[in-house]
Structure 1
Amino acid sequence: MQISLLQCQSSRDVAQNLQFIESQLDLLPRVAGEEQLVVLPECCLLFGGHESQQGEYLLNCGSEESPLKSAMSDLAKKFNVYLVAGTIPVLAEDKRVYSRTYLFDSAGKVLGNYDKLHLFDVDVSDGTKEYRESDTFCPGDKISVIDTPFGKLGLAICYDLRFPDLFRAMREAGAELIALPAAFTKVTGAAHWQPLIQARAIETQCFILAAAQWGQHNRGSRETWGQSMIVDPWGRVMAEKMSGCGWVQATLDRSELELIRQQMPVSEHNRFAPPQLQKIR
């Protein structure tokens, strides 16, 4: 199984962001005869300003079917890849926005989707200072674990990483790999990004595929940490890219995952009840 994460430095220019992703897919190093799973970061097509711009884009695009979703479907088909398509905004019933990631197969068909459960309402000692995603975004209400040729793939987004119950719930639902599109701030990423990813990998005994935004966005109004990384079920970093834009790649061996779970069956040993998702609005 060949896995490729794309680290981006996205802006508010949708066309420019889309052109960058397409150009990188055109250069994607591939192993002949192997299916390719590509993971893009959070907000890969629209990022860098206030979160309200996500909703403004939807209201101005004038289409029931999101042009961003269609563009991602077209890329998956054109480049013959399974694609975790970062995140795109989707209108919710209350006129807020779902931060949604889609999984497309290599024919551009949607295999499943996931709406970000945990919204980033925090204060951070950076240039932005205050983040209030719930002003714009609506939280999701389900977990997603999807059958793929690569194994059962769970989906999470950025701030979800801090909530181990979600990751345990995905493991209980059969997850073997977990894709994490993200845009961690530089401040929180420097402190917590790598240890959280390794902890989630070790706890769930899953491969974690964490694709990140990196660098300064829109002349420094936002700054993200980067360090896209692939971590195995033992917590080992298989591949990473600390800074800059480009690909992070690894070939995964599912037999290693099976051996780790057999030798240390933590899921069977756990004496606590499986987590239950609380419905909120």
Structure 2
Amino acid sequence: MSGGQRVVTVATAQYPIDAFETFADFQAKAARWVHDAVMRGAELLVFPEYGGMELTSLLPEAVRDDLQAQLPALEPLRDDVVSIWRELAEIHGVTLLAPSLPWRLDDGRFVNRAWLLGPSGRADYQDKQIMTRFENDLWGVSAGTGLKVFDTPVGRLGVLICYDCEFPDLARALVDAGAELLLVPSCTDTEAGYYRVRLSAQARAIEQQVALVQSPTVGEALWSPAVDINVGRAAVYTPCDHGFPADGVLTIGSDATPGWQIARLDLEAIRDLRQHGQVNNHADWSLQHKRLIESIEAVSLY
């Protein structure tokens, strides 16, 4: 972990999809949210999946209401949006995962891209790896290629965008690559969808003995065909082991009110669980997987 820091103050957003009259209104909202988290001591700020879709409120109504037309129409805004989040991270000296938004690639496909901005002004991104039926079948947002780990002043981070969190091998790959903390930006429109992501995040925390930070969109934006209903609770999840909550929930939103959940997260203590915890999930993962594959036997009862 760069800089030797081990205890991190994390802010994870319950973020509403707002409608703006002007681009300056979006800029003012972003500044308010970051300022509020920083005033509460946050060093790492996590925003949700598809929070950037609120920018479609600036498009002509006919374009905004068309799932396919809105994607290329957002493209002229994207660089300015990233610049705003980059500047806020630099001004306030924080590490910030910006709300994701569709991003057009050189081959014409759109991916779901989340930018991670550091206090030095440096930035990089993670694209979503596994797409939902809505993204694939109705919207035309495609899977990205490859996971990354990010070395930052608050630790080595990995990002699993919403549905990606439901696949254990992705989390395992990031942790094996040295990720100390996994960020899970999400956007779900039903309680069932929210719980799929939440329970998967908690399972990944147990399996890999790592902490995960979930940030969801919340509330209604009935003017938006892509993110009209938003259900979720911001939370920080840990292993269920020594020194951490028995249920693995370090903090979680009590209702759907927009705002921040703040937590102090001891990454060193979580790492130590792999050596001294009540269980040894991380080390046993590979061993048991190999044994299971080798020992599966087909049995006929005919």
Q: TM range, normalised to the smaller chain?
A: 0.7 to 0.9
Partner of 2:36: 27
Structure 1: runs of 5+ lacking an equivalent:
123-130, 274-281
Does 1:7 pair with 2:14? yes
Relative to the length of structure 1, the TM-score reads 0.82
Secondary structure of the structure 2 residue equivalent to 1:213: strand
Report the CA distance between 1:116 and its aligned residue: 0.6
Does 1:141 pair with 2:145? yes
Report the CA distance between 1:27 and its aligned residue: 2.1
Relative to the length of structure 2, the TM-score reads 0.77
Structure number with higher helix proportion: 2
Out of 128, 131, 135, the position equivalent to 1:116 is 128
Over 3 Å counting, the alpha-carbon distance change for 1:189 and 1:18 in structure 2 is farther
Partner of 2:172: 168
- Contact (CA 8 Å) 1:17, 1:44: kept in 2 or not? no
Partner of 2:156: 152
Q: Which amino acid aligns with 2:218?
A: W
| Farther-moved stretch of structure 1 (256-265 vs 194-203) | 256-265
Over 3 Å counting, the alpha-carbon distance change for 1:191 and 1:266 in structure 2 is closer
Report the CA distance between 1:31 and its aligned residue: 6.2
Over 3 Å counting, the alpha-carbon distance change for 1:179 and 1:134 in structure 2 is farther
Partner of 1:128: none
| Farther-moved stretch of structure 1 (232-241 vs 112-121) | 232-241
Distance 1:71 1:193 in 2: 29
- Contact (CA 8 Å) 1:43, 1:86: kept in 2 or not? yes
Report the CA distance between 1:93 and its aligned residue: 2.6
Distance 2:26 2:221 in 1: 12
Report the CA distance between 1:107 and its aligned residue: 2.8
Report the CA distance between 1:80 and its aligned residue: 1.9
Report the CA distance between 1:77 and its aligned residue: 1.4
Report the CA distance between 1:2 and its aligned residue: 0.6
Distance 2:275 2:26 in 1: 43
How many residue pairs get aligned? The number is 258
Higher-Rg structure is 2
Distance 2:207 2:27 in 1: 35
- Contact (CA 8 Å) 2:274, 2:283: kept in 1 or not? no
Report the CA distance between 1:224 and its aligned residue: 1.2
Partner of 2:252: 240
Q: Which amino acid aligns with 2:250?
A: M
Partner of 1:127: none
Secondary structure of the structure 2 residue equivalent to 1:243: coil
- Contact (CA 8 Å) 1:11, 1:46: kept in 2 or not? no
Q: Which amino acid aligns with 2:280?
A: P
Partner of 1:268: 283
Partner of 2:295: none
Partner of 1:213: 217
Partner of 1:87: 100
CA RMSD of aligned residues (A): 2.4
Q: Which amino acid aligns with 1:268?
A: A
Q: Which amino acid aligns with 1:26?
A: H
Q: Which amino acid aligns with 2:146?
A: K
Report the CA distance between 1:173 and its aligned residue: 0.9
Distance 1:218 1:18 in 2: 22
Report the CA distance between 1:36 and its aligned residue: 0.3
Out of 224, 227, 230, the position equivalent to 2:233 is 227
Q: Which amino acid aligns with 1:214?
A: V
Out of 104, 111, 115, the position equivalent to 1:102 is 115
Secondary structure of the structure 2 residue equivalent to 1:68: helix
